[in-house]
A and B are shown apart, each in its own frame.
Chain A
């Protein structure tokens, strides 16, 4: 029986999570680097509590964006031609492969954000007003970043761009994510409505999801 789109996507997601569990790339390499970056920033700027509280959220999101993209891009760009051939020759729908890869990236990014988030609260003495909104914001940013990184990795995997171009592809597209994420937290701190920023994060995720699914087949077939 032919597998469904969803079952193919879940197969790819399970594969990626299992590979991560074995290699520990995110947990034992990228995550510690992100944590070190958050530790070093106060040394570079100031250890004054008020300053740290003021810049903490922004620093958290910058670290999440930079290291998060690395997480999302790492697998696809590291895979060999033989590995990509093996996947292609299963006859899986490239859109299902994209969806599964993005799903696995989302899960890894969510863990990454959560651990660094707790660290930021501790190190920067972050104001926890509106904390009930934090999970939703973290989830939406993780979705957007996972989709963005998976699309960028797909472009690089075609062989027509090099991995060095990933920052150029990702940087302009991550700006709206960064603005919406930081402004959401700023809105919570000031007690303002953050609905606009939440909607913006949701729309970015939706646009990236549609773009990713629609471009998956042409991108695979370009490679």
Chain B
């Protein structure tokens, strides 16, 4: 299953943050994921490669508890993925998907302040997090007046704000300038150093290979 292992010995001994066993996901009758077995441990970075439509995004959404397994079982931070209480672990997950989810009518700072208030985080951190991703001058700009790249950067600021224990990144390096790519790598390293874990889905093999302890390949919904 794993293409290579180069993570520290203590990683494999730790209790898994994510544990999937025989998980399948179907959209109606169409299988998206089949018999997926996966464990992600604290301190680990897992890279996932696969062609378009292989099931990478569905796998990330599954791990984020945003998609439910059709078959099999899984836990995230020890909480069953089918449990009605699974929303409670989501505040420990940082998920960056293809499309930024900012409210277009609100400024970047207001969007971030909403997240902070929703999670009980001190709103005073919002400014410094936006500063850290190079958006100091765009704090008060409405999200719909920011470029896609700026909105992506703001998502990295959200990760700095919420400090998740599990970082899930879907094509994190796409459409980014060199500085922003470095930001992504910094976020991953920061999360892992805090004892968290990261899962990256990407077509940028070289980038991900430089970050990941383990590379998985997914083909037609199956991890090979």
Contact = CB atoms under 8 A, between A and B. Distances in A.
Interface of A: 1-3, 7-8, 11-12, 14-15, 18-19, 22-23, 80-94, 217-218, 220-221
Contacts of B86: 221
9 contacts: A3-B120, A11-B118, A12-B118, A22-B106, A82-B101, A89-B64, A89-B90, A91-B90, A91-B91
Chain A contact residues: helix, strand, loop or mixed: helix
A152 B3 CA distance: 48
Contacts, number: 83
Most buried by A among B64, B89, B105, B142: B105
A202 B117 CA distance: 32
A2 B120 CA distance: 5
Range for the number of chain B residues in contact with chain A: 20 to 34
Given A88-B90, A91-B90, A11 B101 contact: no
Shortest 7 CB-CB contacts between residues of A and residues of B: A91-B91, A82-B101, A86-B101, A22-B105, A90-B118, A3-B120, A11-B117
Contacts of B30: none
Contact of B87 (A1, A3, A12, A88): A88
B68 interface: yes
A217 B99 contact: no
B110 interface: yes
Interface of B: 64, 66, 68, 84, 86-95, 97, 99-103, 105-106, 110, 114-115, 117-120, 142
A154 B42 CA distance: 36
Contacts of B90: 88-91
A80 B101 contact: yes
Contact of A1 (B95, B110, B115, B120): B120
A84 B101 CA distance: 8
A43 to B, nearest CB: 36
Given A89-B91, A89-B93, A220-B87, A3 B110 contact: no
Contacts of A80: 99, 101
Contact of B100 (A7, A82, A88): A82
A174 B142 CA distance: 37
A86 to B, nearest CB: 4
B91 A15 contact: no
A90 B91 contact: yes
A93 B87 contact: yes
A218 B110 CA distance: 29
Contacts of A8: 118
A93 B66 CA distance: 14
A218 B83 CA distance: 11
B114 A11 contact: yes
B103 A83 contact: yes
A85 B93 CA distance: 11
Contacts of B91: 89-91
Contact of B118 (A22, A85, A92): A92
A18 B110 contact: yes
A94 B86 CA distance: 11
Contacts of B64: 85, 89
